[in-house]
């Protein structure tokens, strides 16, 4: 059986082709390029995007695993439930409400919200609380670029993301396991870090429903539950918002959720992790190996602010 070959970052399409998304879509349509490329999952490496040591050269987690082994409780709590239950999930049309401490409060069609933002390719190692991790080639854009366009006021200290509430399409929301809709949030300096992205695709394809289509948050130095999926609302706030897991089980899930091997979950050690597809466990790295974010937390007791 032949081994599936995944593209190396150096092989992706240059940024210059994708500088203007609508221009690219128009040219792609004229050239007859398939819809799966033009709807947001395009590969385009941004030339000045930060290279993260220890991630770009790691082997990628296979597509089948990235899209078939998921935490997305809106579609069920089993790891295979999201793929099974999200197949008919409708993501077109899609709109995102922008509200709170921001210059213009309005609801944007998704295309208008991200029009002109450079779609880029990044590979992130995402580790989740169960102790497994993946190396995922997300496609998206830096959240800070969108924030700068939206123009939050000086009172905006946090940014909050809300997932779609639709019990008909999302059967997991009929369970009281969590308070719905799902809400996550970041401090503004975390949101403005260039490693924080809003993803619209994975592996050069449109983001599948089970992975948070059509747009989701990716914060690679935090545990996976911080990555709000299927976002329909962005709110800028002065005070720290209440977030879903922190509200549901505050003893186990803090607001910050930074990967820290020295802080154990109350029910298990977080000193080691197992990457999916590997037998042996490996040491968990502080901030998931993204040491360049350490300056965001200078002077903070990360055992207290977990």
Q: Out of 6-15, 36-45, 173-182, give the one with best mean pLDDT.
A: 173-182
What are φ and ψ of residue 50, in 5° steps?
-65, 135
Q: Out of 31-45, 156-170, 252-266, give the one with best mean pLDDT.
A: 156-170
Across 146-165, average pLDDT = 98
Position 132 scores a pLDDT of 86
Residues above pLDDT 90, as percent of the chain: 74
pLDDT per position as a tens digit, 120-144 = 889 998 877 667 899 999 999 999 9
Please say if the pLDDT value at position 64 is more than 50: yes
- 3-state secondary structure labels for all residues of 113-132: HHCCCCCEEEEEEEECCCCE
Structure token pair of residue 259: 């990967």
Structure token pair of residue 157: 């200290």
Class of domain 9-297: alpha beta
Q: Which range has the worst mean pLDDT, 104-113, 124-133, 173-182, 231-240?
A: 124-133
**CA-CA distance, 306 to 302, in Å (whole number)?**
5
Structure token pair of residue 96: 């995102």
CA dist 22 to 52, 136, 197, 252, Å? 29, 26, 20, 44
Query: What DSSP designation does 263 have?
Result: S
Please say if the pLDDT value at position 42 is more than 90: no
Which runs of consecutive H residues, i.e. helices, occur in 102-169? 110-114, 143-150
Q: Identify the band that residue 243 occupies on the pLDDT scale cut at 50, 70 and 90.
A: very high
**CA-CA distance, 236 to 261, in Å (whole number)?**
31
Please say if the pLDDT value at position 224 is more than 80: yes
Please say if the pLDDT value at position 12 is more than 70: no
Please say if the pLDDT value at position 56 is more than 90: no
Domain ranges of the chain: 9-297
Residues above pLDDT 70, as percent of the chain: 80
Can you name the residues that pair with 135 across neighbouring β-strands? 125
């Amino acid at each position: 059986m032949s081994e599936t070959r995944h593209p190396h970052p150096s092989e992706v399409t240059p940024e210059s082709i994708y500088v203007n998304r609508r221009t690219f879509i128009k040219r792609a349509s004229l050239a007859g390029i398939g819809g799966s490329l033009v709807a947001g999952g395009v590969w385009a490496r941004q030339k000045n995007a930060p290279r993260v040591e220890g991630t770009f050269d790691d082997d990628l987690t296979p597509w089948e695993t990235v899209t078939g082994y998921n935490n997305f409780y809106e579609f069920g709590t089993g790891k295979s439930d999201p793929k099974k239950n999200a197949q008919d999930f409708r993501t077109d049309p899609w709109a995102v409400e922008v509200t709170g401490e921001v210059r213009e409060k309005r609801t944007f069609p998704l295309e208008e919200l991200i029009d002109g933002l450079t779609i880029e390719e990044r590979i992130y190692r995402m580790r989740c609380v169960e102790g497994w991790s993946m190396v995922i080639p997300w496609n998206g854009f830096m959240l800070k670029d969108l924030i700068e366009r939206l123009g939050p006021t000086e009172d905006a200290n946090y940014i909050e993301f809300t997932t779609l509430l639709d019990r008909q399409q999302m059967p997991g929301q009929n369970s009281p396991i969590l308070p719905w809709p799902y809400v996550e949030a970041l401090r503004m300096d975390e949101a403005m870090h260039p490693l924080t992205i809003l993803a619209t695709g994975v592996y050069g394809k449109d983001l599948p429903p089970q992975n948070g289509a059509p747009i989701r948050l990716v914060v690679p130095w935090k545990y996976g539950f911080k990555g709000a999926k299927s976002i329909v609302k962005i709110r800028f706030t002065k005070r720290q918002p209440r977030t879903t897991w922190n509200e549901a089980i505050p003893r186990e899930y803090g607001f910050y959720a930074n990967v820290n091997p020295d802080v154990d979950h109350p029910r298990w050690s977080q000193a080691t992790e197992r990457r999916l597809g590997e037998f042996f466990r490996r040491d968990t790295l502080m901030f998931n190996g993204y040491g360049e974010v350490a300056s965001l937390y200078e002077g903070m007791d990360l055992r207290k602010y977990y």
